[in-house]
Amino acid sequence: MKASASWLDAKYSFPISDYQGEEAQPNGGCESRILIVDDEARMRASVKDLLEAYGHRCSLATGGADALAVLAREQVDLLLLDLNMPGVDGYEVMHRVQAEYSDVDVIVVSGETTFESATEALRCGAQEFLRKPYAPEDLARVVSRALKKRALERNIQEMHRCLEASEHRYRFIVNNSPDIIYMLDSEGKFAFVNDRIKPLLGYETEDLIGRHYSEFVHKEDIQKARFVFDERRTGNRASRNIEFRLLCKSSSLPYRYFESRTITIEMNAMGVYTAPEGDDKERYVGTYGVARDISERKRAEELINYQLYHDLLTNLPNRSLFRDRLNLAISQAKRNKNKLAVMFLDMDRFKMINDSLGHLAGDQLLQTVALRLQSCLRDGDTLARVGGDEFNLLVPDIAGREDAGMVAHKIIERLKGPVVLDGYEVFVSFSIGIAIFPEDGQSIDVLIKNADMAMYHIKTHGKNGYEFFADNMKSAFHRQLSLENGIRKALEKKEFELFYQPQYDISSNRICGMEALIRWSHPERGLLLPDQFIPLSEETGLIIEIGNWVLDSACRELKSWQQLGFNGVQMAVNISAAQLMQPEFERRVLEVLKKHGVAGEQLEIEITENILMKDMDQAVSKFQQLAANGVRMAVDDFGIGYSSLSYLHSLPLNTLKIDRSFISGIESKKDHSSIVTAVLAMARELDLEVVVEGVEREAHVDYLRQLQRVRAQGFFLGRPEPAEEVRKLLRRQQDA
């Protein structure tokens, strides 16, 4: 675009052709009405004839008063006025015309010859002074000239009016534009800015005029702004869509809203030049530009960006951002010959907590844990959430393993305190694997993978602690992976088996129950005990399927015992948290009982205290339904879990199984201070049966024998055995 310099100054000039028409032209080129005012009738008639001969339209007035009457009545453009008239004279008429009919032109036609009368007439507004007697052509020429001038003036007026309207229209459009529209002069100072500046930046337009643009640009963006504000190019090469920030007006009270705020704008600008005139080349006069407020869009973009690189639950960086930061940290460490640590953190038993307390509590736990983790970190560290309960931590600039170890230790210590969820205290712990750059890996992927492997290692060797990556972990890791796949296949290949361990009624020395304990006859590794695969099954969710199989097999076995006549033996089956929390758990148990034709009273479900505490309400309602169908309920490993015993009253409990750690310390039957004695006393109060687990020695049996109503289970009395052996045992008892 080219704009003329005059645009800037808002000065306009228009080509008005010179008034040259000295020759009288018929009608002066327009339809004008002339009023001839003279007290001499002859004079009036001759002027009229003359002017009509030139095509003018004339009216007559016999004197000043008559003239004023005609003026009041008719549209008149030009007065041919005599001065000396009786009554109202020419001067008075002119005064009235000046006051009331300003658009009527006056030519004085008079016999007055003095210079004073002529100047007085001109002072009173007359355009011309024609002295009597005159040549008819002179009159015609004077009239024609007056009418022509008048027509020109009218034209100019009309043009001004049009221009004003047009200016008004453009100003309206410019000021109501949603964008800031401005012009800078050649020095970069504002020459024009539209009203939009006020609502967007808080400035009045006058605040900007004459000031340099750099005063209004965020200092970090000056470079970019210079690029557009100094734009001299035009057309396609001009600046387009350049983004930067403008400062809003601060301090002054009415605009506090804008205080220390910036808006982001997108700007298009181009140079403005004068139109070339004659030999003069076009000249640069400034720039013209349009700035659009894109703050909203920027905020949306920032939000999207944030969401792309952050975990929205914990507000921590996500995997992508972590990889970015790690990449950067590796480059820096290489350059500075530094070390860095990558840690893989996995919460222990999170799945169980999540399944039992619900996802809302799970989320809350993750948020609390994220905060605690963050409190252990320095400024340059990056903690990211990379999966459900998995976090990655980058600790750059460390001197060696000890530094990383200290951070891990700090994390473990900091997480020790309980987290209160839904009124319950939950204890969390983390398994942390650590890989050090450069010795444990030099790329993002290898470092993360090795940290993960170290984490897996600690997880399968006791949890809650940290471990550094070591080469030999690779095989352990792969064993763990193949274990998980193995569990899946074991179900299909029927590699699981139930062993049964007898429970004895101590006073009668007879078997009153059997506990079903799962074994896995692994094709390569032989017979595996539950602790080698149950925790992993719980973590992976496979426990549901395994649990269903256990329940079904145990009930089938129980039925077969009954069919063989071994009555009065209860079957105890262990249940995991995930199983209990299944919505259809109780219905499934009842279905299995029905399927095998076993009475509910013959089945005892064992559950640990910890599982009960996760969701007491659910547990109560499920067990109540089961109890209504006779199914018994036992609390397993009693005494090592929660200290609160309030649940004993709310659950339909039948049996407490005292954890084997309590009997193990008993040396003789005189050991009365034992907790076993205390629990037995309490159980009697509550009308509960008691099974003492871990009876390994004769002294234990001796000790229990003196107590009444107690059942016992342990290697001394009978180890868990396969179904066949157990049948033999039952037969021997029956025969005895």
In the complex, the residues that contact Mg ion under the rule CB under 5 A are 574, 606, 636-637, 693
- Grouping H, G, I as helix, E, B as strand and the rest as coil, residue 278 is coil
What is the rounded distance in angstroms from the CA atom of residue 129 to the CA atom of residue 111?
10
Judged by beta carbon distances under 5 to 8 A according to partner kind, the member of ligand C2E, Mg ion, none in contact with residue 56 is none
CB 455 within 8 A of CB 346: yes
Closest approach of Mg ion to the CB of residue 657, in Å: 5
Q: Which is nearer to ligand C2E, 194 or 713 (CB)?
A: 713
Closest approach of ligand C2E to the CB of residue 355, in Å: 14
Q: Which is nearer to Mg ion, 581 or 611 (CB)?
A: 611
Nearest to 230 by CA among 266, 271, 192: 271
Q: Which is nearer to ligand C2E, 431 or 576 (CB)?
A: 576
Q: Which is nearer to Mg ion, 207 or 606 (CB)?
A: 606
CB 265 within 8 A of CB 245: yes
Q: What is the DSSP string of 64-133?
A: HHHHHHHHHHS--SEEEE-S--SSS-HHHHHHHHHHH-TT-EEEEEES---HHHHHHHHHTT-SEEEESS
Alpha carbons within 13 angstroms on the beta-carbon side of residue 527 total: 10
| CB-based contacts of 314, cutoff 8 Å, min separation 6 | 366, 367, 370, 385
Judged by beta carbon distances under 5 to 8 A according to partner kind, the member of ligand C2E, Mg ion, none in contact with residue 517 is ligand C2E
What is the rounded distance in angstroms from the CA atom of residue 270 to the CA atom of residue 235?
7
Inter-helix orientation angle 295-309/319-336, to 10°: 80
Closest approach of ligand C2E to the CB of residue 541, in Å: 13
Closest approach of ligand C2E to the CB of residue 606, in Å: 6
Closest approach of Mg ion to the CB of residue 713, in Å: 8
Q: Which is nearer to ligand C2E, 361 or 573 (CB)?
A: 573
Q: Which is nearer to ligand C2E, 225 or 692 (CB)?
A: 692
Q: Which is nearer to ligand C2E, 376 or 517 (CB)?
A: 517
Closest approach of ligand C2E to the CB of residue 564, in Å: 23
Judged by beta carbon distances under 5 to 8 A according to partner kind, the member of ligand C2E, Mg ion, none in contact with residue 271 is none
What is the rounded distance in angstroms from the CA atom of residue 133 to the CA atom of residue 131?
6
Q: Which is nearer to ligand C2E, 28 or 547 (CB)?
A: 547
Nearest to 487 by CA among 438, 425, 541, 441: 541
Judged by beta carbon distances under 5 to 8 A according to partner kind, the member of Mg ion, ligand C2E, none in contact with residue 107 is none
**Tokens matching residue 197:** 């500046």
Q: Which is nearer to Mg ion, 593 or 656 (CB)?
A: 656
What is the rounded distance in angstroms from the CA atom of residue 142 to the CA atom of residue 130?
8
Judged by beta carbon distances under 5 to 8 A according to partner kind, the member of ligand C2E, Mg ion, none in contact with residue 530 is ligand C2E
Residue at shortest CB range from Mg ion: 606
Closest approach of ligand C2E to the CB of residue 462, in Å: 16
Judged by beta carbon distances under 5 to 8 A according to partner kind, the member of Mg ion, ligand C2E, none in contact with residue 592 is none
CB 289 within 8 A of CB 177: no
Judged by beta carbon distances under 5 to 8 A according to partner kind, the member of Mg ion, ligand C2E, none in contact with residue 720 is ligand C2E
Judged by beta carbon distances under 5 to 8 A according to partner kind, the member of Mg ion, ligand C2E, none in contact with residue 696 is ligand C2E
Q: Which is nearer to Mg ion, 93 or 528 (CB)?
A: 528
Alpha carbons within 13 angstroms on the beta-carbon side of residue 477 total: 15
What is the rounded distance in angstroms from the CA atom of residue 710 to the CA atom of residue 633?
16
CB 39 within 8 A of CB 271: no
Nearest to 593 by CA among 654, 545, 547, 552: 552
Q: Which is nearer to ligand C2E, 392 or 579 (CB)?
A: 579
Q: Which is nearer to ligand C2E, 188 or 639 (CB)?
A: 639
Judged by beta carbon distances under 5 to 8 A according to partner kind, the member of ligand C2E, Mg ion, none in contact with residue 452 is none
Closest approach of ligand C2E to the CB of residue 551, in Å: 8
What is the rounded distance in angstroms from the CA atom of residue 734 to the CA atom of residue 736?
5
CB 449 within 8 A of CB 459: no
Q: 213 to each of 192, 389, 686, how far by Cα in Å? A: 12, 52, 86
Cβ burial of 343 (10 Å; 0-12, 13-18, 19+) is buried
Closest approach of ligand C2E to the CB of residue 501, in Å: 6
Judged by beta carbon distances under 5 to 8 A according to partner kind, the member of ligand C2E, Mg ion, none in contact with residue 529 is ligand C2E
Judged by beta carbon distances under 5 to 8 A according to partner kind, the member of Mg ion, ligand C2E, none in contact with residue 501 is ligand C2E
Radius of gyration, CA atoms only, the chain:
53
The DSSP output letter for 492 is: H
Closest approach of ligand C2E to the CB of residue 334, in Å: 49
Closest approach of ligand C2E to the CB of residue 542, in Å: 11
Nearest to 344 by CA among 470, 452, 474, 481: 452
Judged by beta carbon distances under 5 to 8 A according to partner kind, the member of Mg ion, ligand C2E, none in contact with residue 550 is ligand C2E
Residue ranges in contact with ligand C2E by CB under 6 A: 501, 517-518, 529-531, 534, 547, 550, 574-576, 606, 636-637, 660, 694-696, 713-715, 720
**Tokens matching residue 2:** 């080219």
| Strand partners for 59 | 35
Closest approach of ligand C2E to the CB of residue 512, in Å: 16
Closest approach of ligand C2E to the CB of residue 652, in Å: 20
What is the rounded distance in angstroms from the CA atom of residue 320 to the CA atom of residue 621?
44
- Residue that the structure tokens 């009308």 belong to: 687
**Tokens matching residue 330:** 């590796």
Closest approach of ligand C2E to the CB of residue 554, in Å: 8
Q: Which is nearer to ligand C2E, 292 or 700 (CB)?
A: 700
Q: Which is nearer to ligand C2E, 415 or 573 (CB)?
A: 573
For residue 52, the tally of other CB atoms under 10 A from its CB is 12
